[in-house]
Amino acid sequence: MLDRPTPLRNVPEPDIALAERLFDILKKETADTEGVTRAAYGKGEQFAHDLIIAEAHKVRLPTWVDAGGNLYVRLEGTGKDRKTIIVGSHLDSVPMGGNYDGAAGVLTGLAVIVAWQRAGFRLKDDLVVMVTRAEESNWFPHSYIGSKSALGLLPDYALDVKRSDTGRTLADHMTELGLKPDVVRAGVPQIKPENLRAYIEMHIEQGPVLIEKELPAALVTSIRGSFRYREARVLGEYAHSGAVPRAYRHDAVVGAADLIMRLQQEWLRFEAEGHDMVYTVGMLSTDPVQHAFSKISGDVRLSIDVRSHSVPTLDKMRERLLTIVAEVEAMHRVKVNLGALTGSSPAVMDRKLLNSFGDAMDEVGAPRFEMACGAGHDAAVFAGLGVPTLMLFVRNQNGSHNPDEAMEMADFAVVTRILAQGLTMMS
């Protein structure tokens, strides 16, 4: 928080009151028993998109929706050979999540573009606020659906994946909303990288770094890539818990536990060797249809999520994972079925943009601070295509993907002013 905000240099002040009002509406209208739920290609996400469209139209900003449902709000530039600067994020949430994850990035862009439209202020390039669909991959087991569909990168099979709560395909949900899944399936780009000057995404920090350092905002230098096995299984044999001695067991629980802890020890070894990496088992369960107190389990289901800024590190860890799987199978007489492999590539942010927005932090009076990002974001897709890309973080308590996200509006105002100033300082 800045005690005395420095006036922006020749830039209209963003409409923070607008953003605060829309945060309140989103919280109220997409509330769940706890937090908010805005399911991808569902009622909550669609409400949020319609809300942004309505606000844009109040100030006569044109909007359009592409074949995959991504929303765009444009402020036309003045340059003869202008390109497009995209400020983007998403509006879907995890089930019973927080109100700021994704939405903060959309509303910081909207606060700038609406204020500039009212003031008649323009850049040389077109400024577009892009609202991507389905960034939260818990709804559909595929990363970055909205941004990939916009860029013509969404693989054909992704249209046939089923949403976790409805069991209906992505294509079905798109059709229900009047979108064009056949165009998406054909890989037709809705936006072209060569027409973009930059992609900029603001997001709440999902960890404790800015809280601990007492800083309102940060520049993100890179985004971790990942490999994931979302539906791994350890398969053994069901048997009576009292009748079968240890030597004759094929215990899926013991096999799964050994697998998890061997990977944990591997993570510690990688860290000791100086590798950047995180490893998580976020889901773990026996089969509720068959499990029982007096049964040796024959089926354990788990997820495996490994992330790093380094492709060689990801490759090396995946090799070790496959070796460990073979060892666990042999020792415990079980079968490990890892299931489908998904993931994403690491992404590096553009150094020129980092410098320009660092200068903007100086102008605004916010401490200049850079840090890496451990979570995935749509920015990684744009960076992977060579589009100059930048992420900004805003301070946020209690992590993310939970009802207790606690971004302060004073911090939101700081990072929104950094965005506004930085857009005018891009070289």
Ranges of each domain in the chain:
16-224+346-425, 226-344
Helix (H, G, I), strand (E, B) or coil at 14: coil
What is the C-alpha separation between 240 and 347, in angstroms, rounded?
50
Q: What is the pLDDT along the chain (427 residues), one digit of tens a residue?
A: 455 566 677 899 999 999 999 999 999 999 999 999 999 999 999 999 999 999 999 999 999 999 999 999 999 999 999 999 999 999 999 999 999 999 999 999 999 999 999 999 999 999 999 999 999 988 998 889 999 999 999 999 999 999 999 999 999 999 999 999 999 999 999 999 999 999 999 999 988 999 999 999 999 998 888 999 999 999 999 999 999 999 999 999 999 999 999 999 999 999 999 999 999 999 999 999 999 999 999 999 999 999 998 999 999 999 999 999 999 999 999 999 999 998 888 888 999 999 999 999 999 999 999 998 877 789 999 999 999 999 999 999 998 889 999 999 999 999 999 999 999 998 5
pTM for the predicted model, two decimal places: 0.83
Q: CA-based angle 20:23:26, to the nearest 5?
A: 155
Output the pLDDT for position 198. 98
d(CA 367, CA 58) in angstroms, rounded, equals: 35
CATH number corresponding to 226-344: 3.30.70.360
Pick the CATH number of 16-224+346-425 from 3.40.630.10, 3.30.70.1350, 3.30.70.141, 3.40.50.170: 3.40.630.10
Residue 243 makes CB contacts below 8 A (sequence gap 6+) with: none
Residue 17, Cβ density class (10 Å: 0-12 exposed, 13-18 middle, ≥19 buried) = exposed
What beta strand segments (E) does 254-354 contain? 278-280, 284-286, 295-296, 299-308, 335-337, 341-344, 347-348
Taking each helix axis from N to C end, the angle separating 409-425 and 103-119, rounded to the nearest 10 degrees, works out to 60
Q: Are 205 and 408 in contact (CB under 8 A)?
A: no
Q: What is the pLDDT, as a whole number, of residue 10?
A: 81
256, amino acid identity: A
pLDDT value of position 5: 60
Kindly state the helix (H) or strand (E) to which residue 211 belongs, with its residue range: helix 209-213
Write the CB contacts of 181 (distance below 8 Å, at least 6 apart in sequence): 67, 68, 159, 170, 171, 174, 175
